[in-house]
C-alpha cells in the first residue's frame, strides 16, 4: 500500500525511534484472538476448537488464534457465549481496569461489547456493570453481546456521557473510557482508515475525549479507578489528553498497570506527569496500536444519586418459585411491561435515560391463569438459564 507522505511524517513524529520498528510490521496480517468467558467456560474449550492457539499477554483469558482458522464466529461455543472474538491487544484496557465482583463499574463508550463482556467476566455476576453507548443501533448490538455472554449484572444504556453524569455523580468504583478516536492504530485491520485520515482529526478527537473524561470524573467516587484507552497512535489523543485532563483535575494520579504489556508511553509528550506509567502497544509488541492509562481519583468531589426502588406487582410468588427451583436465579426481581426481570442489586435510578436492557428477562406475567403462569415461567427460565458450559 502507498501511504500519504503527510501521514508517514505524522506517524514518524509521534513514534520517534520506534518508527522503523513499526514500519517493519505495517504490511503484516493483523493479529487475531479470542478471550475465554469465565461466566460460562474455562480453558478446556480451547481443545474443542480445532485449531492452534497460544497465550496473549494482554489478559489472563486472552489467546492468539491463527489467521488460517476459518468460521470461528460460527462455532457453536461462540454462539453459546463460551468465548468472545477480540483483537488481542484490545483486551488490555479492561485488564487494566481490574473490576471486582462487589463493585460498580461503568463502560462509558461500550459498543460493540468486547471490553464490557470482559469486565462482566471479571466481575463474575456480582456488583453492577453499566455499559453505555451513544449510538442507538450500536447500543442494541452491545446488549445482544452481553446477553449472549450471560452477563446478568448489567444495565445497557443509550445516552450521552453528560446525561449519565447528571444522574450518577460519584456513583462508580471503576470507569473505563475507551474513547472514540482517529483509529490510526487499527490501520492493519482497517486499511480504509488511510483514505479518511486527516491530521486535524487528531485535535477534533482530543477535544471530544476531554469532554467525555470530564463526565467520567463526575461519576467516579473518591478513591475510584479511571482507565482511559484509545486505538490511535496520536500523542494528541493519548499522552497529551491525559496531561490536559490532569491539569484540569489535579486530584488524579497515574498508576502502574500490574499486567505488563507493550512499552512505556512517551515522556516527551507529557513531561510534567508520570505518563511513562501508561502503556503504548505497537505491532512489535504483539498487538495493534493501543494506548492505556490507569488513573486514581484522590479527592472527594461528592455524591448525588438515588437507587431505584423498583416497585413491582405480583412478584412475590414468582420470586419464591424461582428461588426454590433455580439456584442461579437468586437475586432481585422486578417487572417491566409484564416481563419478569432479574436485575442487579445496586441498580440506580435512571429516569430520563434510555435503557436498552437491564439484568436478565426470565419470564412473562399472565393474568388470571395461575397454572399456565407457572409453566410459562418455567419454560422461559430454562431458555434463559446462564448455565456454565464447561
The stretches of 24-113 forming alpha helices (DSSP H) are 76-79, 92-97
pLDDT at 339: 78
Q: Is residue 234 part of a domain?
A: yes
How many other β-carbons are positioned within 10 Å of the β-carbon of residue 92?
27
Mean pLDDT of all residues in 221-249: 98
Out of 236, 267, 297, a domain closes at 297
Tell me the mean pLDDT in the region 306-332: 70
- Give domain status of residue 11, yes or no: yes
In the predicted structure, residue 380 carries a pLDDT above the cut 60: no
Tell whether 132 is covered by a domain: no
Residues 365 and 216 in one domain: no
Residues 17-27, mean pLDDT to the nearest whole number: 95
- For residues 41 and 379, what is the distance between their CA atoms, to the nearest angstrom? 24
Is the domain of 170 the same as that of 267? yes
Shared domain check, 220 and 338: no
Whole-number Å distance between alpha carbons of 359 and 347? 10
Query: Both 257 and 286 in a single domain?
Result: yes
Task: Give the model's pLDDT for residue 386.
Answer: 46
* Whole-number Å distance between alpha carbons of 164 and 149: 25
Q: 270, 297, 324 — which closes off a domain?
A: 297
| 360 within domain boundaries | yes
Query: Hey, which residues are catalytic here?
Result: 231
pLDDT of residue 372: 47
Q: What's the grid cell of residue 57?
A: 499477554
Residue 19, pLDDT above cutoff 60: yes
Look at the alpha carbons of 12, 2, 237, 207 in this order and tell me if their dihedral is positive or negative. Answer: positive
Amino acid 25: pLDDT: 95
367 in a domain, yes or no?
yes
Closest to 179 (Cα-Cα) out of 143, 137, 215: 215
Cβ pair 164, 157 in contact under 8 A: yes
Do 237 and 352 fall into the same domain? Answer: no
State yes or no: pLDDT of 381 exceeds 50. Answer: no
- Identify any residues that bridge with 292 across adjacent strands, giving them in sequence order: 229, 279
- Taking only the tens place, the pLDDT of each residue in 58-87 is 999 999 999 999 999 999 999 999 999 999
Q: Which of 266, 297, 328 is the last residue of a domain?
A: 297
If asked whether residues 270 and 173 sit together in one domain, one would say yes
Same domain for 279 and 347: no
Average pLDDT over residues 225-237: 98
Q: Are residues 179 and 274 in the same domain?
A: yes
Cβ neighbours around 121 below 10 Å, total:
24
pLDDT of residue 314: 60
254: its cell numbers:
497515574
Q: Do 173 and 290 belong together in one domain?
A: yes
Q: How confident is the model at residue 2 (pLDDT cuts 50, 70, 90)?
A: confident
Domain-embedded: residue 54: no
In angstroms, the CA 176 to CA 45 distance is 28
Mean pLDDT of 296-311: 91
Q: In the chain, count H helices and then E strands.
A: 12, 17
d(CA 129, CA 127): 7
Task: Please give the Cα distance from 188 to 257 (Å, whole number).
Answer: 26
Q: Taking 70 as the threshold, does the pLDDT of residue 376 lie above it?
A: no
Looking at residue 10, which CATH number applies to its domain? 3.40.50.150
User: Please, which pLDDT band fits residue 362 given cuts at 50, 70 and 90?
Assistant: confident
Q: Domain limits at 359?
A: 316-384
* pLDDT for the residue 185: 96
Domain assignment present for residue 148? The answer is no
What's the number of domains the chain is made of? 2
If you average pLDDT over every residue of the chain, what do you get?
A: 91
Compute the distance between CA of residue 357 and CA of residue 139 in angstroms, rounded to an integer.
Answer: 9
DSSP annotation string for 244-292: HHHHH-TTEEEE--SS--SEE--GGG-TTTTGGGSEEE-GGGTSSSEEE
- 287 and 193 housed in the same domain: yes
Domain identity same for 291 and 360: no
Spell out the residues 6+ positions from residue 14 whose beta carbon is closer than 8 angstroms to its own: 233, 234, 235, 266
What angle do helix axes 200-219 and 239-248 make, rounded to 10 degrees?
40
Q: Cell numbers for 107, please give them.
A: 463502560
Q: Would residue 372 count as lying in a domain?
A: yes
Claim to verify: residue 234 and residue 176 sit in the same structural domain = yes
Express each pLDDT in 125-179 by its tens digit: 999 999 999 999 999 999 999 999 999 899 999 999 999 999 999 999 999 999 9
Angstrom distance (rounded) from CA 268 to CA 276: 10
Amino acid at each position: 500500500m502507498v501511504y500519504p507522505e503527510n501521514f508517514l511524517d505524522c506517524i514518524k513524529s509521534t513514534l520517534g525511534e520506534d518508527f522503523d520498528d513499526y514500519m517493519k510490521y505495517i504490511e503484516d496480517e493483523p493479529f487475531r484472538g479470542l478471550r475465554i468467558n469465565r461466566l460460562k467456560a474455562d480453558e478446556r474449550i480451547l481443545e474443542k476448537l480445532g485449531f492452534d492457539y497460544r497465550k496473549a499477554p494482554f489478559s489472563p483469558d486472552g489467546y492468539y488464534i491463527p489467521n488460517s482458522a476459518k468460521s470461528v464466529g460460527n462455532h457453536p461455543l461462540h454462539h453459546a457465549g463460551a468465548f468472545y472474538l477480540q483483537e488481542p491487544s484490545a483486551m488490555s484496557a479492561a485488564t487494566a481496569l481490574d473490576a471486582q465482583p462487589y463493585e460498580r463499574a461503568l463502560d462509558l463508550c461500550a459498543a460493540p461489547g468486547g471490553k464490557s463482556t470482559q469486565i462482566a467476566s471479571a466481575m463474575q455476576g456480582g456488583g453492577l456493570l453499566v455499559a453505555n453507548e451513544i449510538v442507538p443501533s450500536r447500543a442494541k448490538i452491545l446488549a445482544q453481546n452481553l446477553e449472549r455472554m450471560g452477563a446478568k449484572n448489567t444495565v445497557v444504556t443509550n445516552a450521552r456521557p453528560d446525561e449519565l453524569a447528571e444522574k450518577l455523580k460519584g456513583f462508580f468504583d471503576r470507569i473505563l473510557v475507551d474513547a472514540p478516536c482517529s483509529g490510526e492504530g487499527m490501520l492493519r485491520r482497517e486499511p480504509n482508515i488511510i483514505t479518511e485520515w486527516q491530521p486535524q482529526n487528531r485535535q477534533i478527537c482530543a477535544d471530544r475525549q476531554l469532554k467525555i473524561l470530564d463526565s467520567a470524573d463526575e461519576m467516579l467516587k473518591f478513591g475510584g479507578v479511571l482507565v482511559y484507552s484509545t486505538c490511535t497512535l496520536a500523542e494528541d489523543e493519548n499522552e497529551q489528553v491525559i496531561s490536559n485532563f490532569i491539569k484540569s483535575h489535579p486530584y488524579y494520579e497515574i498508576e502502574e498497570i500490574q499486567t505488563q504489556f507493550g512499552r512505556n508511553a512517551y515522556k516527551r509528550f507529557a513531561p510534567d506527569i508520570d505518563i511513562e506509567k501508561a502503556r503504548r502497544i505497537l505491532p512489535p509488541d504483539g498487538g495493534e496500536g493501543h494506548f492505556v492509562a490507569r488513573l486514581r481519583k484522590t479527592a472527594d468531589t461528592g455524591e448525588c444519586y438515588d437507587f431505584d426502588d423498583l416497585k413491582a406487582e405480583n412478584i412475590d410468588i414468582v420470586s419464591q418459585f424461582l428461588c426454590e427451583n433455580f439456584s442461579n436465579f437468586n437475586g432481585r426481581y422486578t417487572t417491566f411491561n409484564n416481563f419478569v426481570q432479574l436485575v442487579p442489586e445496586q441498580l440506580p435510578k435512571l429516569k430520563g435515560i434510555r435503557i436498552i436492557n437491564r439484568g436478565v428477562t426470565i419470564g412473562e406475567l399472565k393474568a388470571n391463569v395461575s397454572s399456565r403462569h407457572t409453566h410459562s415461567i418455567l419454560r422461559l427460565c430454562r431458555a434463559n438459564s446462564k448455565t456454565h458450559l464447561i
